[in-house]
Amino acid sequence: MQSETARIEAFSDGVFAIAITLLILEIKIPQPAQGDLVVALLRQWPSYMAFFLSFAYIGIMWINHHRMFTLIKRSDDVLIILNLLLLFGVTVVPFPTAVLAQHLGGPQERTAALVYNASFVVIAVFFNLLWRYAVARRLLHEQAVIPQAMRISTQYAIGPLMYLACLVIAWFNVRASIVANSALALFFALPPSLMKPRSSPPAL
């Protein structure tokens, strides 16, 4: 029988695919009037940086969304709404990416970095709301998945705080915040099996 969450996953996959594709639109083709092509291409480094970072973020969000829904067996109206909130955050990502690409290296780069990081703080909160609701309402598969679910909960619990830390770092040093963002993307790319589970089910 088809999974009860199959339509949610299919729709979500489409949204992730569109959002990650839109990122490339920020990278413009240099015009002949801009002079030497190599110089013009190199001058666009902020766009390449923003594109790479956001591509990694959206890709890793998709991986984690997939991980969640391999464990979520059932859905209800609230779960669908929470998933839509998460997808709302995903569709917004190309905008702060464009803002960061436009202003990185300029006088307004701190504001751009703050906007960029703030968007991921919100997305991290939406991720947690979706996952913790599924756990609290017992929408997961049977008890056999509890250890894995606990590891996911452990990993996600610190997500908003880590993104908030990147936001604070951006206020003081934009370059350092980009390095922190890159490290955070790698952290959430790690399989939950590397996270040490807590000792009891209530930790979910």
Break the chain into its structural domains and give their ranges. 6-203
Q: What's the pLDDT score for residue 145?
A: 59
d(CA 125, CA 121): 6
Among 81-95, 125-139, 176-190, the range scoring the smallest mean pLDDT is 176-190
Longest CA–CA span in the chain (Å) reads 65
d(CA 5, CA 7): 6
Asked whether the beta carbons of 93 and 19 are under 8 A apart, the reply is yes
CB count in 10 Å sphere of residue 129: 16
Helix (H) or strand (E) holding 110: helix 109-136
pTM, two decimals, is 0.84
Report CA 34 to chain centroid distance, whole Å: 35
161-168 average pLDDT score: 92
Q: Is 146 helix (H, G, I), strand (E, B) or coil?
A: helix
Residues 48-98: pLDDT tens digits?
Answer: 999 999 999 999 999 999 988 988 888 899 999 999 999 999 999 999 999
Structure tokens at 48: 């390449």
